[in-house]
């Protein structure tokens, strides 16, 4: 991402939230879950050529989210500032259907809640994005 895109995220990072129109339109219907994550069990690993990266491209880092943050706009500001300053690209690894960072334009990868499935999913995502590190947002004080 270019600096302009990070500036766009910084400009959109506001505590104001859009009103969910689905509740107004579908009053009588139950909401469906947002998604289900299924990772196939494979004996053979896919070729690394599938994820070929350009030399000198951005460094990707993973940020784990176990529960939706109370103030996603604050976290969006911190991550966008870090991305610009350190020239990294944060990829959010979320164990909840909607963590709140999607609305600011961050790449959010849904990870299953079960520990073994989450570990397998994170490993696959780490390979795909070539994540230099995966940090837990709560452990570093980013999320609470």
Q: Which domains, from first to last, does the chain contain?
A: 1-11+59-144 (3.40.50.170)
pLDDT in tens, 74-123: 889 889 988 888 889 999 999 998 998 998 989 999 999 899 999 999 99
pLDDT in tens, 40-56: 666 666 666 666 667 77
Q: Where residue 37 falls among pLDDT bands split at 50, 70, 90?
A: low
Q: Where residue 11 falls among pLDDT bands split at 50, 70, 90?
A: confident
Write out the chain in H/E/C secondary structure: CCHHHHHHHHHHCCCCCCCCHHHHHCCCCCCCCCCCCCCCCCCCCCCHHHHCCCCCCCEEEEEEECCCCCCHHHHHHHHHHHHHHHCEEEEEEECCCCCCCHHHCCEEEECCCCHHHHHHHHHHHHHHHCEEEEEECCCCCCCC
């Amino acid at each position: 991402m270019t600096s302009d895109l990070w500036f766009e995220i910084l400009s959109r990072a506001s505590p104001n939230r859009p009103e969910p129109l689905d509740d107004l339109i579908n009053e009588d219907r139950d909401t469906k879950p947002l998604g289900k994550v299924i990772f196939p069990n494979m004996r053979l690993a896919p070729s690394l050529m599938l994820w070929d990266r350009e030399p000198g491209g951005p460094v990707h880092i993973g940020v784990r989210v176990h529960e939706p943050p109370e103030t996603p706009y604050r976290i969006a500001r911190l991550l966008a500032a870090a991305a610009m300053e350190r020239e990294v690209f944060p990829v959010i690894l979320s164990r909840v259907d909607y963590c709140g960072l999607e609305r600011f334009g961050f790449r959010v990868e849904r990870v299953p809640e079960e520990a073994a499935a989450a570990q397998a999913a994170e490993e696959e995502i780490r390979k795909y994005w070539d994540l230099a590190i995966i940090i837990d947002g709560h452990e570093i004080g980013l999320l609470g």
